[in-house]
């Protein structure tokens, strides 16, 4: 009986593997950051969001050693954006130092309201953002741009199905009539060879018209 080694080295990818519960798992280590990056509340909130909703992105940052710097940078950006948003809302709503001096309780109440709303904006735009897949957006935009053409294709398909359904029998009868008239004219010497050939060609064209229409309808369905 062959005894499996506890460790293996793969020369193709340069990785070492260790036997764990009967399976060889790669010896992966997280790169140690060169410096410590303190993470504030926005960074901690975004970290939890990444772990729950975007685990692939989170693992990429973690394994590359860039998670700390990424969260610290995001935390700083969120704090700066929050301060700017609060100032802009203060100016827009007239929450000034004069109001603070005149009615401090009202100033505190309105400032709390502004800060709560500003924090919700930061959460939705920077921290708990919703990622929209690029290909899905492009596909939706393409469908919207081609919607009029799609309606025309559907209309053409329905009209073609309606016409071919009721015209196939009629065109077959007409084609048969042209064929027998041409044959009778040739047998009874009522028309020369040229006229007979024209009637036969006409019979053939009338006969194949519905089948050409059916093929066109199939192409329309394919393009749809």
**Each residue of 188-222: pLDDT tens digit?**
777 777 787 887 888 777 777 776 766 766 665 55
Q: Cα–chain-centroid distance for residue 169? A: 46
> In a 10 Å sphere around its CB, with 0-12 CB exposed, 13-18 middle and 19+ buried, how is residue 115 labelled?
middle
pLDDT at position 220 is 59
Per-residue pLDDT of 23-51, as tens digits, reads 777 776 655 544 566 778 899 999 999 99
- Name the nearest CA neighbour of 37 among 67, 11, 68, 60: 68
pLDDT at position 117 is 93
pLDDT at position 135 is 52
pLDDT at position 144 is 76
- Name the nearest CA neighbour of 120 among 129, 110, 107: 129
pLDDT at position 107 is 92
pLDDT at position 163 is 63
Residue ranges of the domains in the chain?
1-30, 41-127, 142-223
Cβ contact 167:210 at 8 Å: yes
Chunked into runs of 10 residues, the chain (224 residues) has average pLDDT values of: 70 76 69 61 91 88 88 92 92 90 91 93 82 58 74 70 67 76 78 77 76 67 55
Q: What is the pTM of this model?
A: 0.44
Q: Which helix (H) or strand (E) holds 86?
A: helix 67-93
Distance CA 14, CA 35 (A): 28
Instruction: Please give the span between the terminal C-alpha atoms of the chain, in angstroms, as a whole number.
Output: 61
pLDDT at position 127 is 86
């Amino acid at each position: 009986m062959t005894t499996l080694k506890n460790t293996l080295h793969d020369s193709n990818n340069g990785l070492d593997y260790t036997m764990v519960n009967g399976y060889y798992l790669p010896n992966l280590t997280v790169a140690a950051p060169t410096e410590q990056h303190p993470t504030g509340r926005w960074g901690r909130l975004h970290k939890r969001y990444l772990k729950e909703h975007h685990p692939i992105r989170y693992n990429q940052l973690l394994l590359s050693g860039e998670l700390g710097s990424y969260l610290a940078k995001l935390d700083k950006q969120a704090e700066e954006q929050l301060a700017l948003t609060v100032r802009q809302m203060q100016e827009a709503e007239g929450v000034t130092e004069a109001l603070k001096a005149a009615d401090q309780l009202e100033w505190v109440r309105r400032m709390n309201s502004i800060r709560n709303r500003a924090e919700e904006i930061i959460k939705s735009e920077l921290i708990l953002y919703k990622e929209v897949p690029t290909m899905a957006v492009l596909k939706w935009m393409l469908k919207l741009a081609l919607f009029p053409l799609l309606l025309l294709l559907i209309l053409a398909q329905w009209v073609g199905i309606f016409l071919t359904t009721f015209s196939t029998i009629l065109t077959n009868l007409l084609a048969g009539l042209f064929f027998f008239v041409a044959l009778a004219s040739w047998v009874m010497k009522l028309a020369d060879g040229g006229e007979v050939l024209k009637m036969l060609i006409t019979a053939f064209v009338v006969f194949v018209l519905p089948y050409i229409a059916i093929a066109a309808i199939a192409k329309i369905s394919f393009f749809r």
